[in-house]
Structure 1
Amino acid sequence: MLRTPLKFALLAGFGLSLAGALYAPPATARTQVAVGVSIGVPPPPPRYERVPGPRRGYVWAPGYWRWNAPAHRHVWVGGYWVRMRPGYHYRPAHWVRHGHDWRFRRGYWGR
């Protein structure tokens, strides 16, 4: 039978090992982060959206088609407001043709 201090030391060591394995340091700030999805099905034409009037301190991000893998189809994501970043320009989400595939690019802030 293990004594209490030994149990505590083993438990603490296991906890520290687990925490070290699960820890991911924060990413450094970058202007652009590219996350993409590549599929062989082209997105439908964009839907018409009535853009609301200007909102101080925000930029309108237009809607886009998102790929829903379990349903094997595109799903419309309506436009939304994004807080403005001084000195940056918002680049909306969009699909890009790449050979026979289509790649999705998320919206991001660029210089």
Structure 2
Amino acid sequence: MTFPIRTLAALAAAGLAFGAATYTPPAAAREYVSVTVGTRPPPPRWERVPPPRAGYVWAPGYWNWYGGRYVWVGGHWYAGRPGYVYRPPVWRPYGHGWRIERETWYRDPHWHR
């Protein structure tokens, strides 16, 4: 009777060892593309900001670099994230050009549940 139990235990151990040896965790879905442009972006366009919506954050429009030129991306709503603050994209001087810092959400240090 102990022979089948030992065999099953050995098979289970071998299966666990094989699974642990072949497991690869999923890659983090994070990408970052740095864009540096030689010319200053145009001034922001005027946009009518809609009235506030409960549970949403307004993301203002901005100039994006696409296809070798600046392209306007209109403002839009994002679902709010409790405990986080939205930071819109911004172009900053970088060396002899301009670099965009993409939009992001960062942890609100003053937020308490």
> 1:51 aligns to what SS in structure 2?
coil
TM-score (structure 1 length as normaliser): 0.67
What stretches of structure 2 of length at least 5 have no aligned partner? 1-23, 108-113
- Map 1:30-109 onto structure 2 (within 5 A): 35-69=33-67, 72-109=68-105
Shift of 1:98: 0.9
Q: Normalised by the size of structure 2, how large is the TM-score?
A: 0.66
For CA contacts below 8 A with separation 6 or more, give which structure has more relative contact order.
1
Q: Report the count of equivalent residues.
A: 85
Aligned AA for 2:106? G
| Distance change >3 Å, CA 90–CA 35, structure 1 → 2 | farther
Whichever of the two has the greater Rg, that structure is 2
Residues 93 and 104 in structure 1, CA contact (< 8 A), matched pair in contact too: yes
- Cα RMSD of the aligned pairs, angstroms, is 2.5
Shift of 1:38: 1.0
Superposed displacement of residue 100, structure 1: 1.0
CA contact (8 A) 1:35 1:105 kept: no
Cα 1:68–1:34 change in 2 (3 A) is closer
Q: Which portions of structure 1, spanning 4 or more consecutive aligned residues, are displaced by more than 3 angstroms?
A: none
Counting aligned pairs with the same residue, the percent is 57
Q: Which amino acid aligns with 1:47?
A: R
